[in-house]
Amino acid sequence: MSTTPPTEQRPLLILGAGVIGLTTAVRLLESPSSAGRKVHIIADHHSTDGLDARYASSIAGAHHLSFADDADKRQRRWDMRTFRVLYEEWRKEGEACGLMGLTQTEMWVGSSKHLQIYEEHPDFKVLEARDAPCKVDHMVSFTSLTVTPSLYLTGLEARVRSLGGIIHRAHVGSLHDLATLPFLSLYSILPAAVFVCVGLGASSLLGIADQSVYPTRGQVVRVRAPWIRSGYTRQVGSLAGGEGGQRTYVIPRCTGDVILGGTREERDWDPYPRLETAKDILCRALDICPELEPPHARAPALEAGEKTLEAAWAAEMGEKEEKVKALEEVVVEHLVGFRPSRVGGTRLERAEVRLAGEIVALIHNYGHGGAGWQSSWGCAEDAVAIWEGKNLPKL
Ligand SMILES: Cc1cc2nc3c(=O)[nH]c(=O)nc-3n(C[C@H](O)[C@H](O)[C@H](O)COP(=O)(O)OP(=O)(O)OC[C@H]3O[C@@H](n4cnc5c(N)ncnc54)[C@H](O)[C@@H]3O)c2cc1C
């Protein structure tokens, strides 16, 4: 006979402490249906750890700039819901929480259309493409947000703790390990549900081993440029749901740092930055945002018309080369991260597993690719609704 207490008395477990695991934990702890239950998080990486390519949330840019195709109503709903939650937080708390509200300019080469979702943002405008700093075919602007991941993740962890959540550090090799003594000693009773928020970890975690999950390598450069307070992106070629074409971005953060990117290299596990890629990113970033050049390098000589020796030398080297050199002076670090991509997109659904003879619900919430920050709250709310057996909106 089973000695496990009834489901409603058993704890709930979240695997993963990236933006997906932490937002899911907050919504779960806030829900009246979790009253009286313990909520535990288990993860390898935590918000205060150093940056790690396998901890995508720590490396991300991160801006709210949806990739949702016009017909992808599910993604549009997650992204817009998340925008509203983050916008309200920024409005109430200001930049201390790691969010920055800003004007975002999005440019396209090879397309004269923008994604419809941008029209739902405040201050949406179609701009004249000829006014762009580089040759583009279409340009729009609207109000959006950027995140400083370290600040926001630390704030989320604090919220989880203040709501009574318990956070542990451990690596889970297999779902079956969760019913063994080392793990049972963390939560005493076998959990009623496991929320699987492990990002790229879903490809190797036994019991899931989802072979449709793969890394999309992204390399970025962090520069110190507090004079930049607006965001810019340029998409060349088809966006293909966020996975296609070449994308260049300038993402200012509330800390005065700016993230310049990027690359999308599917199934590339190289965690080290490549110098030639970094230089290409700086060149592309200057194309779409010439103001990145540090103010001192842009200042004209005092004597109009008179060229210093250095300026004459710079002219010889080529103006662009000189601008990249000036930008290199404010580089803080080069970073690489793996977006947790998945063929078919995010997996957000209920399943189950038998552990030590008991049925345990699995709520999958992983595989967000390059859109985990901007869809986090929307996905977290759906994950909790699925656990609670509520119907999601019919789309
Ligand atoms: C360069 C770059 C730029 C990006 N820019 C943006 C952007 O501008 N906007 C945006 O929305 N998104 C962006 N993203 C994507 C975004 O970062 C991810 O979609 C998001 O962080 C995924 O969050 P996650 O919590 O699912 O995964 P992660 O942040 O990777 O967290 C996974 C968690 O699971 C834990 N875990 C995994 N396996 C195990 C295991 N077996 N046992 C224990 N713990 C485990 C890890 O330790 C970690 O705590 C970017 C990503 C990159 C790399």
Encode pLDDT of 277-295 as tens digits. 999 999 999 999 999 999 9
Where does the pLDDT of residue 392 fall: very low under 50, low under 70, confident under 90, or very high at 90 and above?
confident
What is the torsional sign of CA 88, 94, 95, 98? Answer: negative
Distance of alpha carbon 328 from its chain centroid, rounded? 25
Q: Is 201 in the pocket of ligand 1 (CB under 6 A)?
A: yes
What mean pLDDT value characterizes the chain?
94
Say how many domains are in the chain: 1
Residue whose CA lies nearest to ligand 1 atom number 52: 60
**Residue 82 within a domain:** yes
Please report the pLDDT score of residue 241 as a whole number.
81
Ligand 1 centroid to Cα of residue 231, in Å, is: 22
Where does the pLDDT of residue 360 fall: very low under 50, low under 70, confident under 90, or very high at 90 and above?
very high
**Residue 178 within a domain:** yes
Q: Verify cis geometry, omega within 30 degrees of 0, for the bond prior to 256.
A: no
Q: Is 368 in the pocket of ligand 1 (CB under 6 A)?
A: yes
Q: Work out the average pLDDT over 93-109.
A: 97
**Residue 304 within a domain:** no
Instruction: Quote the CA–CA distance of 67 and 74 in Å, as a whole number.
Output: 12
Residue to probe by mutation, ligand 1, list 13, 14, 19, 146, most atoms within 8 Å of CB: 19
Instruction: Quote the CA–CA distance of 156 and 376 in Å, as a whole number.
Output: 12
Where does the pLDDT of residue 243 fall: very low under 50, low under 70, confident under 90, or very high at 90 and above?
confident
Tell me the residue type at 6. P
Where does the pLDDT of residue 301 fall: very low under 50, low under 70, confident under 90, or very high at 90 and above?
confident
Please report the pLDDT score of residue 5 as a whole number.
83
Q: Is 242 in the pocket of ligand 1 (CB under 6 A)?
A: no
**Residue 269 within a domain:** yes
Q: Is 172 in the pocket of ligand 1 (CB under 6 A)?
A: yes
Q: Is 11 in the pocket of ligand 1 (CB under 6 A)?
A: no
Q: 213: annotated binding-site residue?
A: no
Asked which of 24-33, 176-185, 295-304, 362-371 is least confident by mean pLDDT, the reply is 295-304
Cβ burial, residue 325 (10 Å; 0-12/13-18/19+): middle
Q: Work out the average pLDDT over 107-130.
A: 97
Please report the pLDDT score of residue 242 as a whole number.
83
**Residue 100 within a domain:** yes
71 pLDDT exceeds 70? yes
123 pLDDT exceeds 70? yes
What's the CATH code of the domain at 353?
Answer: 3.40.50.720
316 pLDDT exceeds 90? no
Where does the pLDDT of residue 329 fall: very low under 50, low under 70, confident under 90, or very high at 90 and above?
very high
263 pLDDT exceeds 70? yes
**Residue 394 within a domain:** no
**Residue 238 within a domain:** yes
Beta strands in the chain (DSSP E): 12-15, 39-43, 99-109, 125-127, 138-147, 166-169, 193-196, 213-224, 231-236, 246-252, 257-261, 265-266, 331-342, 347-355, 358-366
394 pLDDT exceeds 80? no
Q: 247: annotated binding-site residue?
A: no
313 pLDDT exceeds 70? no
Q: Is 208 in the pocket of ligand 1 (CB under 6 A)?
A: no
**pLDDT single digits (tens) 151-184:** 999 999 999 999 999 999 999 999 999 999 999 9
| Number of the ligand 1 atom closest to the C-alpha atom of 173 | 41
Q: 339: annotated binding-site residue?
A: yes
Q: 172: annotated binding-site residue?
A: yes
Q: Work out the average pLDDT over 237-250.
A: 89
Where does the pLDDT of residue 304 fall: very low under 50, low under 70, confident under 90, or very high at 90 and above?
low
Three-class DSSP labels, 133-170:
CCCCCEEEEEEEEEECHHHHHHHHHHHHHHCCCEEEEC
Please report the pLDDT score of residue 184 as a whole number.
96
Residue to probe by mutation, ligand 1, list 347, 368, 377, most atoms within 8 Å of CB: 368
Distance of alpha carbon 201 from its chain centroid, rounded? 16
Domain ranges, residue 32: 8-288+333-387
Contacts of 130 (CB under 8 A, 6+ apart): none
pTM exceeds 0.75 for this model: yes
Please report the pLDDT score of residue 305 as a whole number.
63
**Residue 71 within a domain:** yes
2 pLDDT exceeds 70? no
Best CA proximity match to 136, nearest among 240, 229, 245, 233:
233
Ligand 1 centroid to Cα of residue 54, in Å, is: 7
Ligand 1 centroid to Cα of residue 367, in Å, is: 9
